Amino acid sequence: MAPAATGLSNEAQAPNPSRFDPSFTQHVLDTMGPKTTDRNRVVLGSLIKHLHDFSREVELTIDEWMAAVHFVNDVGKIYAESGKTRNEAHRVSDILGLETLVDEIAHKIVSESGVDPTSSAILGPFWSPNAPFRDNGSTIIQNPAPNGRVCLMHGVISDLVTGKPIPNAVFDIWQASSNGKYDFQDPDNQSPNNLRGKFRADENGKYWFYCYHPTAYSLPTDGPSYTLLQMMDRHPMRPAHIHIMVTHPEYKGCTTQLYPKDDQWLATDTVFAVKDDLVVDFKPLKGDDKAVLELDYNVILAPKDYTGKTF
Sites for its own copies among residues 81-140 (CB under 8 A): 81, 84, 87-90, 92-93, 96-106, 108, 110
Residues 9-28 that bind its own copies (CB under 8 A): 16-21, 24-25, 27-28
Contact predicate 267/128, CB 8 Å: no
Are the C-beta atoms of 10 and 3 separated by less than 8 Å?
yes
Q: How far is the CB of 41 from its own copies (least distance, A)?
A: 8
Residue whose CB is less far from its own copies, 197 or 239: 239
The CA R_g of the chain, rounded to the nearest whole Å, is: 24
CA–CA separation, 212 vs 140, rounded Å?
A: 9
* End-to-end Cα, the chain, rounded Å: 41
Distance between CA 185 and CA 167 in Å, rounded?
Answer: 34
Residues 42-71 that bind its own copies (CB under 8 A): 42-44, 46-48, 50-62, 64-65, 68-70
Element (H, E) at 255: strand 254-260
Shortest approach of its own copies to residue 48 CB, angstroms? 6
What's the min distance (Å) between Cβ of 176 and its own copies? Answer: 22
One-letter amino acid identity for 173?
I
Question: How near is the Cβ of 216 to its own copies at its closest, in Å?
Answer: 16
Residue list 186-215, contact with its own copies (CB under 8 A): none
| Residue with Cβ nearer its own copies (86 or 134) | 86
Of 56 and 198, the one with the shorter C-beta distance to its own copies is 56
Answer positive or negative: Cα dihedral of 137, 140, 141, 142.
Answer: positive
Within positions 229 to 248, which residues make up the interface with its own copies, using CB under 8 A? 231-234
Rounded Cα gap, residues 197 and 172, in angstroms: 6
User: Buried b vs exposed e over 115-145: b needs ≥16 C-beta within 10 Å?
Assistant: ebbbbbbbebeeeeeebeebeeeebbbeeeb
Would you say 5 or 130 has its CB closer to its own copies? 5
**The one among 13, 77, 189, 280 contacting its own copies by CB under 8 A:** 77
- Closest CB 77 distance from its own copies, rounded Å: 4
| Contact range with its own copies by CB under 8 A, out of 30-38, 140-148, 183-191, 206-214 | 30-38
Site for its own copies in 254-293 (CB under 8 A): 266-268, 272, 274-276, 279
Taking the complex as a whole, how short is the minimal distance between the CB of residue 17 and its own copies, in angstroms? Answer: 6
Pair 182, 214: CB distance under 8 Å: no
251 binds its own copies (CB under 8 A): no
